Structure 1
Amino acid sequence: MPRAIRCGCAHDRRLLRRPLLGMTRRGANATGFVAVLLWSLLALLTTRAAPVPPLLLNVVCFGIGGVVGIIWMLLTDDTGALRAVPLRVYAFGTAGLFGYHLLYFSALRLAAPHGAEAQAGLIAYLWPLLIVLLSGLLPGERLRAGHLLGAVLALAGATLLIPGTEVGGTGAGALPSYALAGLCALVWAGYSVASRRLGDVPTASVAVFCLATAALSLPLHLALEEAAWPDTNVGWAALLALGAGPVGAAFYVWDIGMKRGDIQLLGTASYAAPVLSTASLVIAGVAEPNWRLGGAAALIAAGAFLAARSSRSAAPSAP
Protein backbone atom coordinates (compact mmCIF):
# COMPACT_ATOMS: atom_id res chain seq x y z
CA MET A 1 0.00 0.00 0.00
CA PRO A 2 1.33 3.51 -0.79
CA ARG A 3 3.09 5.18 2.11
CA ALA A 4 0.64 8.08 2.33
CA ILE A 5 -2.20 5.94 3.64
CA ARG A 6 -0.33 3.04 5.21
CA CYS A 7 -2.16 2.01 8.38
CA GLY A 8 -1.05 -0.16 11.22
CA CYS A 9 -4.36 -1.94 11.43
CA ALA A 10 -5.57 -4.58 9.00
CA HIS A 11 -9.15 -3.54 9.73
CA ASP A 12 -8.35 0.02 8.65
CA ARG A 13 -6.75 -1.24 5.45
CA ARG A 14 -9.88 -3.25 4.66
CA LEU A 15 -12.02 -0.16 5.21
CA LEU A 16 -9.90 1.92 2.86
CA ARG A 17 -10.03 -0.68 0.12
CA ARG A 18 -13.67 -1.69 0.58
CA PRO A 19 -15.15 -1.85 -2.95
CA LEU A 20 -18.38 -0.23 -4.05
CA LEU A 21 -20.72 -3.18 -3.94
CA GLY A 22 -22.53 -3.93 -7.18
CA MET A 23 -20.54 -1.33 -9.17
CA THR A 24 -19.26 -2.68 -12.50
CA ARG A 25 -16.45 -1.08 -14.49
CA ARG A 26 -18.94 0.13 -17.09
CA GLY A 27 -21.17 1.52 -14.37
CA ALA A 28 -18.23 3.34 -12.82
CA ASN A 29 -17.36 4.86 -16.20
CA ALA A 30 -20.93 6.13 -16.60
CA THR A 31 -20.91 7.43 -13.04
CA GLY A 32 -17.61 9.26 -13.55
CA PHE A 33 -18.85 10.89 -16.75
CA VAL A 34 -21.71 12.45 -14.77
CA ALA A 35 -19.03 14.65 -13.17
CA VAL A 36 -17.98 15.92 -16.61
CA LEU A 37 -21.58 16.87 -17.39
CA LEU A 38 -21.95 18.63 -14.05
CA TRP A 39 -18.66 20.52 -14.43
CA SER A 40 -19.76 21.75 -17.85
CA LEU A 41 -22.42 23.81 -15.99
CA LEU A 42 -19.94 25.35 -13.54
CA ALA A 43 -19.31 28.56 -15.51
CA LEU A 44 -22.99 29.14 -16.33
CA LEU A 45 -24.19 28.61 -12.76
CA THR A 46 -21.38 30.76 -11.38
CA THR A 47 -22.39 33.68 -13.61
CA ARG A 48 -26.08 33.23 -12.74
CA ALA A 49 -25.27 33.24 -9.00
CA ALA A 50 -23.85 36.78 -9.21
CA PRO A 51 -23.22 38.98 -7.24
CA VAL A 52 -22.19 36.46 -4.56
CA PRO A 53 -18.42 37.04 -3.98
CA PRO A 54 -15.92 34.17 -4.42
CA LEU A 55 -15.22 33.29 -0.78
CA LEU A 56 -18.91 33.39 0.11
CA LEU A 57 -19.57 31.13 -2.89
CA ASN A 58 -17.06 28.71 -1.38
CA VAL A 59 -18.84 28.82 1.99
CA VAL A 60 -22.31 28.18 0.59
CA CYS A 61 -21.45 25.74 -2.20
CA PHE A 62 -19.05 23.57 -0.21
CA GLY A 63 -21.42 23.62 2.73
CA ILE A 64 -24.06 22.15 0.44
CA GLY A 65 -21.47 19.76 -0.99
CA GLY A 66 -20.64 18.60 2.53
CA VAL A 67 -24.32 17.89 3.19
CA VAL A 68 -24.35 15.84 -0.02
CA GLY A 69 -21.42 13.90 1.45
CA ILE A 70 -23.16 13.29 4.76
CA ILE A 71 -26.13 11.86 2.88
CA TRP A 72 -23.64 9.79 0.85
CA MET A 73 -22.10 8.37 4.03
CA LEU A 74 -25.50 7.53 5.51
CA LEU A 75 -26.46 5.66 2.34
CA THR A 76 -23.16 3.77 1.99
CA ASP A 77 -22.27 3.33 5.68
CA ASP A 78 -18.79 4.60 4.84
CA THR A 79 -18.10 6.65 7.97
CA GLY A 80 -15.83 4.07 9.60
CA ALA A 81 -13.29 4.37 6.79
CA LEU A 82 -12.70 8.05 7.56
CA ARG A 83 -10.75 7.21 10.70
CA ALA A 84 -8.09 5.43 8.61
CA VAL A 85 -7.34 8.49 6.45
CA PRO A 86 -4.27 10.49 7.60
CA LEU A 87 -4.72 14.17 8.44
CA ARG A 88 -2.26 15.15 5.69
CA VAL A 89 -4.62 13.66 3.11
CA TYR A 90 -7.49 15.77 4.45
CA ALA A 91 -5.23 18.85 4.36
CA PHE A 92 -4.20 18.08 0.78
CA GLY A 93 -7.78 17.56 -0.42
CA THR A 94 -9.00 20.71 1.30
CA ALA A 95 -6.19 22.81 -0.18
CA GLY A 96 -6.95 21.51 -3.68
CA LEU A 97 -10.68 22.19 -3.54
CA PHE A 98 -10.31 25.53 -1.76
CA GLY A 99 -7.55 26.84 -4.01
CA TYR A 100 -9.09 25.80 -7.31
CA HIS A 101 -12.56 27.12 -6.65
CA LEU A 102 -11.43 30.39 -5.08
CA LEU A 103 -9.37 31.07 -8.21
CA TYR A 104 -12.15 29.89 -10.54
CA PHE A 105 -14.92 31.93 -8.93
CA SER A 106 -12.62 34.99 -8.80
CA ALA A 107 -11.73 34.60 -12.48
CA LEU A 108 -15.39 34.46 -13.51
CA ARG A 109 -16.28 37.46 -11.34
CA LEU A 110 -13.44 39.55 -12.83
CA ALA A 111 -14.37 38.43 -16.36
CA ALA A 112 -18.06 39.37 -16.07
CA PRO A 113 -17.71 43.17 -16.47
CA HIS A 114 -15.78 42.59 -19.71
CA GLY A 115 -18.14 39.98 -21.16
CA ALA A 116 -15.30 37.47 -21.01
CA GLU A 117 -16.85 34.65 -18.97
CA ALA A 118 -16.60 32.12 -21.81
CA GLN A 119 -12.98 33.04 -22.52
CA ALA A 120 -11.95 32.72 -18.86
CA GLY A 121 -13.87 29.46 -18.58
CA LEU A 122 -12.06 27.97 -21.56
CA ILE A 123 -8.66 28.93 -20.17
CA ALA A 124 -9.61 27.34 -16.84
CA TYR A 125 -10.45 24.17 -18.74
CA LEU A 126 -6.83 23.73 -19.78
CA TRP A 127 -6.57 21.45 -16.73
CA PRO A 128 -7.24 18.19 -18.64
CA LEU A 129 -4.29 18.90 -20.91
CA LEU A 130 -2.10 19.98 -18.00
CA ILE A 131 -2.95 16.75 -16.18
CA VAL A 132 -1.69 14.76 -19.17
CA LEU A 133 1.48 16.84 -19.45
CA LEU A 134 2.29 16.77 -15.73
CA SER A 135 1.55 13.06 -15.45
CA GLY A 136 4.24 12.47 -18.07
CA LEU A 137 6.76 13.73 -15.51
CA LEU A 138 5.84 11.10 -12.94
CA PRO A 139 8.17 8.13 -12.31
CA GLY A 140 7.72 5.54 -15.04
CA GLU A 141 6.07 8.04 -17.42
CA ARG A 142 7.52 10.23 -20.17
CA LEU A 143 6.31 12.93 -22.51
CA ARG A 144 5.73 11.94 -26.12
CA ALA A 145 5.37 13.86 -29.37
CA GLY A 146 1.59 13.71 -29.07
CA HIS A 147 1.75 15.37 -25.67
CA LEU A 148 3.81 18.27 -26.99
CA LEU A 149 1.73 18.71 -30.15
CA GLY A 150 -1.41 18.69 -28.04
CA ALA A 151 0.08 21.39 -25.82
CA VAL A 152 0.81 23.57 -28.86
CA LEU A 153 -2.75 23.19 -30.18
CA ALA A 154 -4.32 24.01 -26.82
CA LEU A 155 -2.02 26.99 -26.33
CA ALA A 156 -3.02 28.26 -29.78
CA GLY A 157 -6.65 27.98 -28.71
CA ALA A 158 -6.04 29.91 -25.50
CA THR A 159 -4.16 32.60 -27.49
CA LEU A 160 -7.32 33.32 -29.49
CA LEU A 161 -8.92 34.54 -26.28
CA ILE A 162 -6.27 37.11 -25.32
CA PRO A 163 -7.25 40.83 -25.46
CA GLY A 164 -6.98 42.56 -28.79
CA THR A 165 -9.23 40.00 -30.49
CA GLU A 166 -12.39 42.07 -29.89
CA VAL A 167 -14.21 38.94 -28.71
CA GLY A 168 -17.29 39.94 -26.77
CA GLY A 169 -15.91 43.45 -26.31
CA THR A 170 -13.03 42.26 -24.15
CA GLY A 171 -9.85 44.27 -23.71
CA ALA A 172 -6.82 44.52 -21.50
CA GLY A 173 -9.12 44.75 -18.47
CA ALA A 174 -9.90 41.06 -18.82
CA LEU A 175 -6.25 40.04 -18.43
CA PRO A 176 -6.44 39.50 -14.63
CA SER A 177 -9.36 37.11 -15.08
CA TYR A 178 -7.40 35.15 -17.69
CA ALA A 179 -4.38 34.95 -15.39
CA LEU A 180 -6.50 33.60 -12.51
CA ALA A 181 -8.19 31.13 -14.86
CA GLY A 182 -4.81 29.83 -16.01
CA LEU A 183 -3.60 29.55 -12.44
CA CYS A 184 -6.69 27.63 -11.35
CA ALA A 185 -6.14 25.17 -14.23
CA LEU A 186 -2.59 24.62 -13.00
CA VAL A 187 -3.77 24.14 -9.40
CA TRP A 188 -6.37 21.52 -10.34
CA ALA A 189 -3.93 19.69 -12.61
CA GLY A 190 -1.28 19.63 -9.87
CA TYR A 191 -3.84 18.45 -7.33
CA SER A 192 -5.08 15.69 -9.63
CA VAL A 193 -1.62 14.40 -10.55
CA ALA A 194 -0.31 14.54 -6.97
CA SER A 195 -3.39 12.68 -5.72
CA ARG A 196 -2.22 9.60 -7.65
CA ARG A 197 0.58 9.25 -5.11
CA LEU A 198 -1.73 9.30 -2.10
CA GLY A 199 -3.11 5.82 -2.60
CA ASP A 200 -6.70 4.73 -1.97
CA VAL A 201 -8.98 6.93 0.08
CA PRO A 202 -12.69 6.35 0.63
CA THR A 203 -15.14 8.44 -1.37
CA ALA A 204 -16.66 9.60 1.92
CA SER A 205 -13.49 11.62 2.57
CA VAL A 206 -14.66 14.11 -0.07
CA ALA A 207 -17.30 15.25 2.44
CA VAL A 208 -14.51 16.22 4.83
CA PHE A 209 -12.73 18.13 2.04
CA CYS A 210 -15.94 20.04 1.30
CA LEU A 211 -16.81 20.89 4.90
CA ALA A 212 -13.23 21.93 5.68
CA THR A 213 -13.16 24.16 2.60
CA ALA A 214 -16.40 25.84 3.69
CA ALA A 215 -15.05 26.31 7.23
CA LEU A 216 -11.78 27.77 5.93
CA SER A 217 -13.59 30.15 3.58
CA LEU A 218 -15.95 31.61 6.19
CA PRO A 219 -13.48 33.65 8.30
CA LEU A 220 -11.69 34.80 5.14
CA HIS A 221 -15.01 35.97 3.69
CA LEU A 222 -15.89 37.86 6.86
CA ALA A 223 -12.49 39.55 6.87
CA LEU A 224 -12.07 40.33 3.17
CA GLU A 225 -15.47 40.54 1.47
CA GLU A 226 -18.79 42.31 1.67
CA ALA A 227 -21.66 39.83 1.63
CA ALA A 228 -23.88 39.99 -1.45
CA TRP A 229 -26.72 37.67 -2.37
CA PRO A 230 -28.70 36.96 -5.55
CA ASP A 231 -31.63 39.33 -6.05
CA THR A 232 -33.66 36.99 -8.26
CA ASN A 233 -35.14 33.51 -7.92
CA VAL A 234 -32.96 32.40 -10.83
CA GLY A 235 -29.86 33.53 -8.94
CA TRP A 236 -30.85 31.64 -5.79
CA ALA A 237 -31.66 28.52 -7.83
CA ALA A 238 -28.25 28.76 -9.54
CA LEU A 239 -26.49 29.10 -6.17
CA LEU A 240 -28.22 26.01 -4.76
CA ALA A 241 -27.65 24.03 -7.96
CA LEU A 242 -23.98 25.01 -7.93
CA GLY A 243 -23.49 23.53 -4.47
CA ALA A 244 -25.53 20.40 -5.15
CA GLY A 245 -24.01 19.63 -8.56
CA PRO A 246 -20.67 20.99 -9.89
CA VAL A 247 -19.35 21.79 -6.40
CA GLY A 248 -21.01 18.86 -4.66
CA ALA A 249 -22.10 15.60 -6.22
CA ALA A 250 -19.55 15.92 -9.05
CA PHE A 251 -16.62 15.20 -6.73
CA TYR A 252 -18.21 12.03 -5.37
CA VAL A 253 -19.11 10.52 -8.75
CA TRP A 254 -15.69 11.49 -10.13
CA ASP A 255 -14.05 9.69 -7.24
CA ILE A 256 -16.00 6.52 -8.11
CA GLY A 257 -14.96 6.78 -11.73
CA MET A 258 -11.30 7.24 -10.83
CA LYS A 259 -11.26 4.25 -8.46
CA ARG A 260 -13.47 1.76 -10.31
CA GLY A 261 -13.57 2.85 -13.95
CA ASP A 262 -11.25 3.28 -16.92
CA ILE A 263 -9.09 6.28 -16.01
CA GLN A 264 -7.86 6.79 -19.58
CA LEU A 265 -11.40 6.77 -20.94
CA LEU A 266 -12.66 9.20 -18.30
CA GLY A 267 -9.60 11.40 -18.78
CA THR A 268 -10.38 11.67 -22.48
CA ALA A 269 -14.08 12.25 -21.77
CA SER A 270 -13.22 15.18 -19.51
CA TYR A 271 -12.03 17.11 -22.57
CA ALA A 272 -15.69 17.45 -23.55
CA ALA A 273 -16.18 19.80 -20.58
CA PRO A 274 -14.77 23.01 -22.16
CA VAL A 275 -16.85 22.56 -25.30
CA LEU A 276 -20.02 21.77 -23.34
CA SER A 277 -19.32 24.65 -20.96
CA THR A 278 -18.94 27.14 -23.80
CA ALA A 279 -22.05 25.78 -25.51
CA SER A 280 -24.10 26.23 -22.32
CA LEU A 281 -22.95 29.87 -22.01
CA VAL A 282 -23.88 30.57 -25.63
CA ILE A 283 -27.28 28.87 -25.34
CA ALA A 284 -28.02 30.82 -22.15
CA GLY A 285 -27.11 34.09 -23.86
CA VAL A 286 -24.13 34.79 -21.58
CA ALA A 287 -21.66 34.56 -24.49
CA GLU A 288 -22.04 35.46 -28.14
CA PRO A 289 -21.16 32.78 -30.68
CA ASN A 290 -18.28 33.74 -32.97
CA TRP A 291 -15.51 32.02 -34.87
CA ARG A 292 -12.79 32.87 -32.34
CA LEU A 293 -14.69 31.40 -29.41
CA GLY A 294 -15.60 28.29 -31.40
CA GLY A 295 -12.06 27.96 -32.73
CA ALA A 296 -10.60 28.25 -29.24
CA ALA A 297 -12.91 25.55 -27.90
CA ALA A 298 -12.08 23.25 -30.82
CA LEU A 299 -8.30 23.75 -30.54
CA ILE A 300 -8.22 23.26 -26.76
CA ALA A 301 -10.36 20.12 -26.97
CA ALA A 302 -8.38 18.75 -29.93
CA GLY A 303 -5.04 19.40 -28.27
CA ALA A 304 -6.07 17.74 -25.05
CA PHE A 305 -7.58 14.77 -26.88
CA LEU A 306 -4.40 14.30 -28.91
CA ALA A 307 -2.32 14.31 -25.74
CA ALA A 308 -4.64 11.80 -24.08
CA ARG A 309 -4.55 9.55 -27.15
CA SER A 310 -0.76 9.58 -27.02
CA SER A 311 -0.88 8.50 -23.37
CA ARG A 312 -3.40 5.78 -24.12
CA SER A 313 -1.38 4.34 -27.03
CA ALA A 314 1.72 4.26 -24.82
CA ALA A 315 0.00 2.43 -21.99
CA PRO A 316 0.87 -1.27 -21.67
CA SER A 317 -1.80 -3.69 -22.73
CA ALA A 318 -3.72 -5.44 -20.02
CA PRO A 319 -2.65 -9.06 -19.55
Structure 2
Amino acid sequence: MPTRSQPASPAPGGRMISPTAIGAFALLLWATLPLLTAQARRLPPFELLALSFGVAFLMGLPWLVLPTRAAPAGRQPGSRGRAWLLAFGAIFLYHALYFYAFAVIPPAEAGLLAYLWPLLMVLFSALAPGGSLGRRQVAAAVLGFLGTLLIVGGAPRGRRRPRRRAGRPAWCWVTWRRCRVR
Protein backbone atom coordinates (compact mmCIF):
# COMPACT_ATOMS: atom_id res chain seq x y z
CA MET A 1 0.00 0.00 0.00
CA PRO A 2 1.50 3.37 -0.96
CA THR A 3 2.33 5.84 1.79
CA ARG A 4 2.86 9.57 1.71
CA SER A 5 6.61 9.11 1.41
CA GLN A 6 6.24 6.55 -1.39
CA PRO A 7 3.32 7.43 -3.64
CA ALA A 8 2.12 4.90 -6.16
CA SER A 9 2.75 5.45 -9.85
CA PRO A 10 -0.17 6.02 -12.19
CA ALA A 11 -0.67 3.30 -14.77
CA PRO A 12 -1.79 4.20 -18.30
CA GLY A 13 -5.39 3.32 -17.44
CA GLY A 14 -5.45 5.63 -14.41
CA ARG A 15 -4.93 2.76 -11.92
CA MET A 16 -2.19 3.10 -9.34
CA ILE A 17 0.76 0.69 -9.32
CA SER A 18 2.36 -0.04 -5.96
CA PRO A 19 6.06 0.67 -5.53
CA THR A 20 6.52 -2.94 -4.39
CA ALA A 21 5.12 -4.24 -7.68
CA ILE A 22 7.38 -1.90 -9.65
CA GLY A 23 10.40 -3.02 -7.65
CA ALA A 24 9.53 -6.70 -8.03
CA PHE A 25 9.20 -6.28 -11.79
CA ALA A 26 12.55 -4.45 -11.93
CA LEU A 27 14.21 -7.28 -9.99
CA LEU A 28 12.70 -9.84 -12.35
CA LEU A 29 14.07 -7.96 -15.37
CA TRP A 30 17.47 -7.53 -13.72
CA ALA A 31 17.67 -11.22 -12.75
CA THR A 32 16.84 -12.42 -16.25
CA LEU A 33 19.23 -10.03 -18.05
CA PRO A 34 22.32 -12.31 -17.87
CA LEU A 35 20.35 -15.39 -18.91
CA LEU A 36 18.67 -13.69 -21.86
CA THR A 37 21.90 -11.97 -22.90
CA ALA A 38 23.77 -15.29 -22.88
CA GLN A 39 21.01 -16.83 -25.01
CA ALA A 40 21.27 -13.97 -27.52
CA ARG A 41 25.07 -14.08 -27.90
CA ARG A 42 24.84 -14.72 -31.65
CA LEU A 43 23.39 -11.26 -32.21
CA PRO A 44 25.87 -8.40 -32.63
CA PRO A 45 26.04 -6.31 -29.41
CA PHE A 46 24.64 -3.11 -30.94
CA GLU A 47 21.79 -4.97 -32.63
CA LEU A 48 20.90 -6.51 -29.28
CA LEU A 49 21.15 -3.06 -27.70
CA ALA A 50 18.85 -1.54 -30.32
CA LEU A 51 16.31 -4.34 -29.90
CA SER A 52 16.41 -4.03 -26.09
CA PHE A 53 15.95 -0.27 -26.12
CA GLY A 54 13.20 -0.62 -28.74
CA VAL A 55 11.25 -3.03 -26.53
CA ALA A 56 11.80 -0.80 -23.49
CA PHE A 57 10.57 2.22 -25.45
CA LEU A 58 7.43 0.39 -26.57
CA MET A 59 6.74 -0.74 -22.99
CA GLY A 60 7.21 2.81 -21.67
CA LEU A 61 5.27 4.54 -24.44
CA PRO A 62 1.97 4.62 -22.50
CA TRP A 63 3.67 6.56 -19.69
CA LEU A 64 4.95 9.16 -22.14
CA VAL A 65 1.43 10.21 -23.03
CA LEU A 66 0.33 10.63 -19.40
CA PRO A 67 0.18 14.20 -18.14
CA THR A 68 3.19 15.10 -16.01
CA ARG A 69 3.00 16.46 -12.51
CA ALA A 70 4.10 19.99 -11.66
CA ALA A 71 7.82 20.45 -11.10
CA PRO A 72 8.91 20.86 -7.47
CA ALA A 73 9.72 24.41 -6.36
CA GLY A 74 13.36 25.39 -6.50
CA ARG A 75 14.30 23.12 -9.39
CA GLN A 76 16.47 24.84 -11.98
CA PRO A 77 15.04 25.26 -15.47
CA GLY A 78 16.33 22.64 -17.86
CA SER A 79 17.59 20.32 -15.09
CA ARG A 80 15.09 17.62 -16.05
CA GLY A 81 16.48 17.45 -19.59
CA ARG A 82 20.08 17.27 -18.41
CA ALA A 83 19.24 14.59 -15.86
CA TRP A 84 17.34 12.59 -18.47
CA LEU A 85 20.24 12.88 -20.91
CA LEU A 86 22.79 11.80 -18.30
CA ALA A 87 20.67 8.85 -17.17
CA PHE A 88 19.91 7.72 -20.71
CA GLY A 89 23.55 8.05 -21.76
CA ALA A 90 24.81 6.10 -18.75
CA ILE A 91 22.27 3.32 -19.17
CA PHE A 92 22.95 3.16 -22.93
CA LEU A 93 26.72 2.97 -22.41
CA TYR A 94 26.42 0.42 -19.61
CA HIS A 95 24.27 -1.92 -21.67
CA ALA A 96 26.42 -1.48 -24.78
CA LEU A 97 29.46 -2.55 -22.77
CA TYR A 98 27.45 -5.29 -21.04
CA PHE A 99 26.31 -6.84 -24.34
CA TYR A 100 29.84 -6.47 -25.72
CA ALA A 101 31.20 -8.34 -22.69
CA PHE A 102 28.85 -11.25 -23.29
CA ALA A 103 29.89 -11.33 -26.95
CA VAL A 104 33.66 -11.54 -26.39
CA ILE A 105 34.16 -13.54 -23.18
CA PRO A 106 32.33 -16.47 -21.56
CA PRO A 107 29.01 -15.52 -19.92
CA ALA A 108 30.07 -16.45 -16.38
CA GLU A 109 33.11 -14.18 -16.57
CA ALA A 110 31.15 -11.39 -18.24
CA GLY A 111 28.50 -11.53 -15.53
CA LEU A 112 31.13 -11.51 -12.81
CA LEU A 113 32.88 -8.48 -14.29
CA ALA A 114 29.63 -6.64 -14.95
CA TYR A 115 28.40 -7.05 -11.38
CA LEU A 116 31.49 -5.69 -9.65
CA TRP A 117 29.79 -2.30 -9.40
CA PRO A 118 28.50 -2.85 -5.83
CA LEU A 119 32.09 -3.38 -4.73
CA LEU A 120 33.13 -0.15 -6.41
CA MET A 121 30.20 1.67 -4.82
CA VAL A 122 31.52 0.70 -1.39
CA LEU A 123 35.04 1.84 -2.25
CA PHE A 124 34.11 5.11 -3.92
CA SER A 125 31.56 6.04 -1.29
CA ALA A 126 34.54 6.98 0.83
CA LEU A 127 35.14 9.85 -1.60
CA ALA A 128 31.69 11.28 -0.88
CA PRO A 129 31.43 14.06 1.72
CA GLY A 130 31.60 12.48 5.16
CA GLY A 131 32.46 9.06 3.74
CA SER A 132 35.12 6.78 5.14
CA LEU A 133 36.24 3.19 4.81
CA GLY A 134 36.92 0.81 7.66
CA ARG A 135 39.42 -2.01 7.66
CA ARG A 136 36.70 -4.58 7.03
CA GLN A 137 35.50 -2.78 3.89
CA VAL A 138 39.04 -2.56 2.52
CA ALA A 139 39.73 -6.22 3.34
CA ALA A 140 36.47 -7.30 1.72
CA ALA A 141 37.24 -5.25 -1.39
CA VAL A 142 40.73 -6.74 -1.70
CA LEU A 143 39.34 -10.26 -1.29
CA GLY A 144 36.61 -9.52 -3.84
CA PHE A 145 39.09 -8.28 -6.42
CA LEU A 146 41.48 -11.19 -5.75
CA GLY A 147 38.64 -13.67 -6.18
CA THR A 148 37.66 -12.00 -9.43
CA LEU A 149 41.24 -12.15 -10.69
CA LEU A 150 41.43 -15.85 -9.84
CA ILE A 151 38.21 -16.63 -11.66
CA VAL A 152 38.68 -14.41 -14.71
CA GLY A 153 42.48 -14.68 -14.94
CA GLY A 154 42.62 -18.47 -14.92
CA ALA A 155 42.76 -20.00 -18.41
CA PRO A 156 40.13 -22.72 -18.96
CA ARG A 157 41.63 -26.16 -19.73
CA GLY A 158 45.12 -24.79 -20.25
CA ARG A 159 44.01 -22.52 -23.11
CA ARG A 160 45.34 -18.97 -23.05
CA ARG A 161 43.45 -15.96 -24.33
CA PRO A 162 44.38 -12.31 -24.46
CA ARG A 163 43.70 -10.57 -21.15
CA ARG A 164 42.65 -7.34 -22.85
CA ARG A 165 39.45 -9.06 -24.03
CA ALA A 166 38.38 -9.38 -20.40
CA GLY A 167 39.56 -5.87 -19.53
CA ARG A 168 37.42 -3.98 -22.02
CA PRO A 169 34.08 -5.28 -20.72
CA ALA A 170 35.11 -4.38 -17.18
CA TRP A 171 34.40 -0.76 -18.13
CA CYS A 172 30.66 -1.48 -17.86
CA TRP A 173 30.93 -1.72 -14.07
CA VAL A 174 33.01 1.44 -13.98
CA THR A 175 30.24 3.17 -15.97
CA TRP A 176 27.53 1.94 -13.62
CA ARG A 177 29.53 2.89 -10.54
CA ARG A 178 30.13 6.39 -11.92
CA CYS A 179 26.42 6.83 -12.45
CA ARG A 180 25.48 5.67 -8.94
CA VAL A 181 28.06 7.30 -6.65
CA ARG A 182 27.53 11.07 -6.69
Matched, 1:104 2:98: yes
CA–CA separation in structure 1 for the residues paired with 2:54 and 2:63? 14
Identical aligned residues as a percent: 34
CA–CA separation in structure 2 for the residues paired with 1:81 and 1:123? 41
Structure 2 residue matching 1:172: 3-state secondary structure: coil
Look up the match of 1:149. Answer: 139
Does structure 2 conserve the Cα–Cα contact (< 8 Å) formed by 1:120 and 1:177? no
Structure 2 residue matching 1:79: 3-state secondary structure: coil
Look up the match of 1:91. Answer: 85
Asked which structure has the greater RCO (Cα within 8 Å, sep 6+), the reply is 1
Gaps of 5+ in 1: 1-17, 195-319
Higher helix share: 1
Look up the match of 2:31. Answer: 40
CA–CA separation in structure 2 for the residues paired with 1:132 and 1:29? 25
- One-letter code aligned to 1:99: L
- One-letter code aligned to 2:161: A
Look up the match of 1:49. Answer: 40
TM-score, scaled to structure 2: 0.76
Matched, 1:61 2:52: yes
Does structure 1 conserve the Cα–Cα contact (< 8 Å) formed by 2:7 and 2:19? no
Look up the match of 1:21. Answer: 8
Structure 2 residue matching 1:161: 3-state secondary structure: helix
CA 1:164–1:153 in structure 2 vs 1: closer, same or farther (change >3 Å)?
closer
CA–CA separation in structure 2 for the residues paired with 1:170 and 1:80? 58
Give the C-alpha shift of residue 117 in structure 1.
1.4
CA–CA separation in structure 2 for the residues paired with 1:150 and 1:35? 28
Look up the match of 2:176. Answer: 188
CA–CA separation in structure 2 for the residues paired with 1:191 and 1:68? 24
CA 1:146–1:126 in structure 2 vs 1: closer, same or farther (change >3 Å)?
same
Does structure 1 conserve the Cα–Cα contact (< 8 Å) formed by 2:119 and 2:141? yes
Give the C-alpha shift of residue 84 in structure 1.
7.0
CA–CA separation in structure 1 for the residues paired with 2:49 and 2:173? 17
Look up the match of 1:119. Answer: 109
Aligned length: 166
Can you list the C-alpha shifts for 1:145-198, whole angstroms capped at 9, x where unaligned?
Answer: 22211211211220122344426x76324x33421232111110111113xxxx
CA–CA separation in structure 2 for the residues paired with 1:81 and 1:59? 32
Give the C-alpha shift of residue 19 in structure 1.
5.1
Matched, 1:176 2:170: no
